[in-house]
Chain A
Amino acid sequence: MKSIKFKQRLTSITGHSFLTVLCTVWLLPIVWLVLQSFRGESTGPTNNIIPRQFTFDNYINLFTDTRLFNFPRWFGNTLFVAVISCVISTMLVLMTSYAFSRLRFSMREKYMKIILVIGMFPGFMSMIAIYHILKMFGLTQTLWALILVYSGGAAMGYYISKGFFDTIPKAIDESAMIDGATKSQIFWKITLPMSKPIVIYTILTSFMAPWVDFVFASIIMRDSYNNFTMAIGLYEMLKRENIGTYFTQFCAGAVVVAIPITILFIFMQKYYVSGVTGGSVKG
C-alpha cells in the first residue's frame, strides 16, 4: 500500500513541476511584453528582462503623441471595422449554415462543394483583383473596403455552425411546422435561441478576425496612413528605423490590442471549445 501511495505522490510532484515549467516557458514572452510596456528607460530592445524604471508614459504617449503614429485613430478604425464586420459576418454565417443544415433544395450539395473548393485557394491570391473591384465602387483604401473584404467571404466559413445546427433534432422543427410556423419563424424563434454556444462562437470569431488581421489590412490600406488599423500601425513601429525609439510603445500598443481579446477569450473559452468540437470534429 505504501509504495502505491509513494508512487502517486511522485507522479503528482513531477506532474505539477512539469506543468509549472511549461506554463512559465509559455507565459514568459507575454510577461516580458507586459514588462517592456512599462519600461522607463527608452533605448531599443535591451537584455535586462526586468526594467530598471517603471512608468505609464508608454501608454500615455501612445494615446496622446500622434505626430508620427496616430494610435488613437487607428484604435477607433479597428474598433469600427471589427464591430461592423462582426455584425455582418455573423448574420451571413448563421443564415448560410442554417440554409445548408436545415433547408433542402436542389442545388444544396453542389453549392456546398463549390464553396469548399473555392476556400482552398490562398486567400490573398485574389487581392489584386479585389483591389480593382473596390476601385470600381470608389472604395479603395477606405474602412468600408476593409469591412467588405472581411464580411464578403464570411459565408464561406459556414462549416462549424452548420455542424452545430445538424445536431438540433429535426423533430422540433417538424412540430413547429405542424403548428403553422414558417421556415423563417423557425429560424428566428426556435433554432437561433437554441444555439447560444454557436452564436456566441460565431460572434467571437468574427470579431477577432478583423481585430487581429494584418495581411488583408496592409494590402488594402497600403500607405493610407489615417485609415490604418492597429495591426499595421504596430508593424510600422517595429520597422528598423523606428524600433529604437518606439519599441516600448509598440509593447504598450500590443498590450492594448491583446487585452480585450484575452478577456473575451477567457470568458468565452467554454463556447469556443464547444464550437470547434461540436461543429467540426465528429466521431
Chain B
Amino acid sequence: MEKLKQFFEPFKFAIKDGDSKTKLSLVVMGAGSFLRKQYVRGFTYLLIQIGFIAYMITSGLSQIAGLRTLGTVEQGQVFDEARGIYVYTQGDNSMLFLLFGVMAVLLFIAFVGVYRLSVKNAVENQQLCESKQPLISFKQDCHDLMDGKFHITVLSLPTVLVTIFTILPLIFMIFIAFTNYDINHQPPGNLFTWVGLNNFRDLVASNGIISGTFYSLLLWTLIWAFFATFLNYVLGMLVAMLINHKQIKLKKLWRTLLVVTIAVPQFVSLMLMSQLLSDNGALNGLLASWGWISEFQPIKFLTDPNIARITVIVVNVWVGIPYTMLITSGILMNVPQDMYESARIDGASAWVQFRKITLPYMLNVTTPYLITQFVGNINNFNVIFLLTGGGPLTLSYYKAGRTDLLVTWLYKLALTEKNYALASAIGIIIFMIMATLSLVVFRRTLEDGRESTFQ
C-alpha cells in the first residue's frame, strides 16, 4: 500500500502543484525537460512516447486483445468466388498470439515506468527552479552514469538480455501451462486455447495414468536427489579426510588423479559409462570372461528397473565424489585443530571425533551448499538422460521410463511428444518444490545480514 502511494507521488504533485511545464509533461513526455533546456533528456522521452504510441496503434493493442482468444481463424480452405477455386487461408497462429501478446504487455509495463520517470523528472526540475538551483546538465548526466548511477550503466545490458532470453520465455511457458498446446493443437495448423487448471488437475488429482506417473516420478526424483546429494557429500568428505590425513603422502597426486575425472566433460564420461554398462558392454564382457556371470545372462545394469535405479545413483557417486572431495578438503583444513587435540586426550576414537567434531562443523559451514546441491539434483538432467535415457521404459507410465526424473519427463513431453502444455505444468510444479526448499537457503544467506559481515 505504502509502495503504491509512493508510485503515484509524482503524479499527485504534478496535478496539484505543478506549473504549466510540469502539467504539460503529463501529456507530452519530456516537456518538463526540454522546455527547461535539457534537450537530450527531453527529446529522448518524447521519442519514446511517439514510438510507443505508434507501436500501440499499429500492432500493440491488437496483440494485447489477442491474448484473450489466442486466435480464432483456423487454417482452412475458402471458396474464392472470383476465381472459382478453393484457396488455402493462413489461419491464426496461437503461439505467436501468445508470444506477441506477452511482449506487448511487457512493453506496456516498461512504458509506464518510463512515463512515471519523465513526470518525476519534470517535478524535480520544477522544484530545482523554484529554489533557484541549477538543473542537471547532459554532461552531469553522463558523469553520473559512470559514478553515482553506475548501477544503471552496469546492469542495463544484463537486464535486457535476461528479460529477452529468460523472463519473456518463462512467462510465455507459464501461460502455456494453462492452455491445451499439445500434439493435437499445433499451430499454425490448429489453434490452441485457454483451458484453465486442466493440466494441473491431470497431473495432481485425476488418478489417471498421468497422475500415477507424476507421483511415481516425484517420489523417485526425491529419493534420487536425497541419495545423490548425501551419499556424495559423506563419501566425498571421507575421501578428503583420508587424503588430508597426516600419514598419507603424495597428497597432491591423489587429488589430481581424482580431479582428472571431473575435468572430463560429463556428456563424454556419461555416454562412455552407458556403453560400459550396457547389456553387451565391456563390464559384462569382463565379468563373463572371468567366469563370474554367464555370458547369456548379463547383469542388467541399465535395463532392469531396480538395478538401473541403483546404477544411476552409483554412477553419480563416481561423477560427484571428486567434486565434493575438492570442495570439502579446503574447509576441512579450517576445523580448529585444538578440538581434536583435546578429544584425543579424552580418549575419543576416530569415529567419535568424526561424529562429534568434523560432521557438525562441516554441516554448519556447508548447509547452503548442500541445499543448493539437493535442488540441483532434482534438476539433474545430464546423469539420467545421457546414462539411461530414462529407461527402462514401462507401459505403466505415461511416456516415461523407470529412471526418469520429473525434469527428464518434462524434456520428453516437450521435445518428443510435443505436449508443451503438460510439460510446462510439470515445470511449474518443479519450480514450486525447489522454491520451497530454497527459501531455507535464502533465509540463511541473504536475510540474516550475513552478506555484510565481510565489509
Contacts and interface: CB of A to CB of B under 8 A. Distances in A.
Interface string A113-141: 10111101110111111101100000000
B260 A262 contact: yes
Contacts of B99: 129, 132-133
A84 to B, nearest CB: 14
Given A231-B267, A281-B366, A183 B243 contact: no
B311 interface: no
A35 to B, nearest CB: 11
A211 B263 CA distance: 12
A121 B170 contact: yes
A254 B263 CA distance: 12
A152 B169 CA distance: 12
Given A26-B318, A105-B151, A265-B259, A120 B158 contact: no
For the complex of A and B, 3 pairs with smallest distance between CB atoms: A47-B285, A152-B165, A126-B169
A60 interface: no
Tell me what chain A mostly uses at the interface: helix, strand, loop, or mixed: helix
A103 B151 contact: yes
B162 A273 contact: no
A153 B160 CA distance: 10
B79 interface: no
Given A122-B410, A156-B166, A277-B327, A265 B263 contact: yes
A182 B431 CA distance: 41
B168 interface: yes
B173 A128 contact: yes
Nearest to B152: A105
A130 B454 contact: no
Contacts of A15: 242, 245, 247-248
Interface residues of B, number: 106
Interface of B: 95-96, 99, 143, 146-148, 150-151, 153-155, 157-159, 161-162, 164-170, 172-173, 176, 239, 242-243, 245, 247-249, 254-269, 271-273, 275-276, 278, 280-282, 285-286, 288-289, 318, 321-322, 326-327, 330-331, 334, 364-366, 368-369, 372, 375, 379, 381-382, 385-386, 407, 410-411, 414-415, 420, 423-424, 427-428, 430-431, 434-435, 438, 442, 445-446, 450-452, 454-455
Most chain A C-beta atoms within 10 Å of own C-beta, residue among B96, B242, B455? B455
Nearest to A95: B154
Contacts of B150: 99, 103, 182-184, 187
B265 A92 contact: no
Interface of A: 8, 11-12, 15-16, 18-19, 22-23, 25-27, 29-30, 32-33, 45-47, 49, 92, 95-96, 98-99, 103, 105, 108-109, 111-113, 115-118, 120-122, 124-130, 132-133, 148-149, 151-156, 166-167, 169-170, 182-185, 187, 208, 211-212, 214-215, 219, 231, 234-235, 238, 247, 250, 254, 257-258, 261-262, 264-266, 269, 272-274, 276-277, 280-283
Contacts of B379: 122
Contacts of A231: 265, 267
Nearest to B258: A26
Contacts of A167: 454
A92 B430 CA distance: 28
A148 B247 CA distance: 51
Given A212-B266, A265-B262, A23 B254 contact: yes
A121 B430 CA distance: 7
Tell me what chain B mostly uses at the interface: helix, strand, loop, or mixed: helix
B427 A49 contact: no
A196 to B, nearest CB: 18
Nearest to B147: A182
Nearest to B367: A281
B161 A96 contact: no
B151 A99 contact: yes
A56 B287 CA distance: 29
A132 B446 contact: no
A146 to B, nearest CB: 12
Contacts of A18: 242
B78 to A, nearest CB: 27
Contact of A92 (B153, B158, B280, B455): B158
A56 B430 CA distance: 47
Contacts of B318: 25-26, 29
A151 B282 CA distance: 39
Contact of A152 (B143, B161, B381): B161
Given A16-B248, A45-B281, A126-B169, A99 B154 contact: yes
Contacts of A170: 455
B69 to A, nearest CB: 19
Contacts of B245: 11, 15
A6 B334 CA distance: 29
Contacts of B273: 29
Contact of B268 (A22, A151, A234): A234
B372 A155 contact: no
B270 to A, nearest CB: 9
A186 B432 CA distance: 40
Contact of A45 (B95, B275, B424, B438): B275
A155 B161 contact: yes
Contact of A49 (B164, B272, B282, B364): B282
Contacts of A112: 446
Contact of B155 (A95, A109, A117, A258): A95
B420 A128 contact: yes
A122 B161 CA distance: 18
B257 A33 contact: no
Given A96-B154, A118-B166, A155-B161, A234 B260 contact: no
A98 B263 CA distance: 28
A266 B263 contact: yes
